[in-house]
Chain A
Amino acid sequence: MAQYTLDVNGKSQTVNVDSDTPLLWVLRDSLNLVGTKFGCGIAQCGACTVHIDGIAMRSCSIPVSKVNGPVTTIEGLSENGTHPVQKAWKQHDVPQCGYCQAGQMMTAAAFLKENKNPSEKEICSAMNGNICRCGTYPRINKAVKTASKL
């Protein structure tokens, strides 16, 4: 076990965990930020997507010892669900079960920072790494488009 100090959602947090502990479990178990979800553990489904230094990353596959920038999770995306992506998700009532949606929104938020006016094709491609088992993809894509205009 070792101590790690992380900047999570603008707050400095110190945790005492093994160096190989994935950021995902530090967030969920040590810091009680359970909005970031466990889906596969091997960076294939995108449910655990967070931002590190503003870039969308799979927190299940990044050991805490390798985190080298400020972390933003779904809880830190906005104060109260007012980030354009969250607003758009609400406008389109995207979720079915809802489990993958935090990861979808974190991917979308990082993508929209890079591409302010994406085409439909660019949206699909950007979102392709996030699996939605319920099949809410059409609404996800519409919501990303809407968010790009908010």
Chain B
Amino acid sequence: MDFFSDFAEKFYDNFIKDDRWRYLTDGLMNTLLITLFAVIIGLLLGFIIAIIRATHDKTGKLKVLNLISKVYLTVIRGTPVVVQLLIIYFVIFASVNIDKLFVAVLAFGLNSAAYVAEIVRSGIMSVDKGQFEAGSSLGLGYNQTMITIILPQAFKNILPALANEFIVLLKETSVSGYIAIADLTKGGDIIRSQTYEAFMPLIAVALIYLVIVMFLTFLVGKLERRLAKNDKR
């Protein structure tokens, strides 16, 4: 009996009293917002880098852009995302008054782009080279072949890997608190600092992430099965 009344009391303290649950919902909103826009930046920039790299691998052109891309990938993938976030906020935008959410979107977007680029490039490389030759033999130029023949097939091959990258990204945004953004993780931490109670808020935060990730994983699985079915037609 003690346990339950204790639990109810703690639940009240941590979530109901002073509307503390709002730290979690507001935090979740920020987490989702950062993730969504970072995904968009990651996809756009990632695709561009991947096409530069694949074009270089296939034709030997775009040497300078390829070199820049390679340096970019090395730096981004070789350093922790928290450090990148801190550098962008405290070094690059040090003297500018700028929305912190924007900084986070930029940092996570630039970071994700590096991983998306390698996924997309592997997708382009996974398309049989006969497809490219077939396009060329019909007189289609490099860009036309890429856009109408290679990329649609590559995209289909990498959809599951891309989706997984975004699940990882969602969890990575939990370090946004380093630049004092009240994301989901920070929200739980604020509750902890007010109630001196760690268990409830932190477990709640973990559960929310878990549910979202499980839901996204479920969607990816469904997508994968549908794509596999299309192959068997």
Are A and B physically bound partners? no
Q: Which positions in B face A, CB cutoff 8 Å? A: none
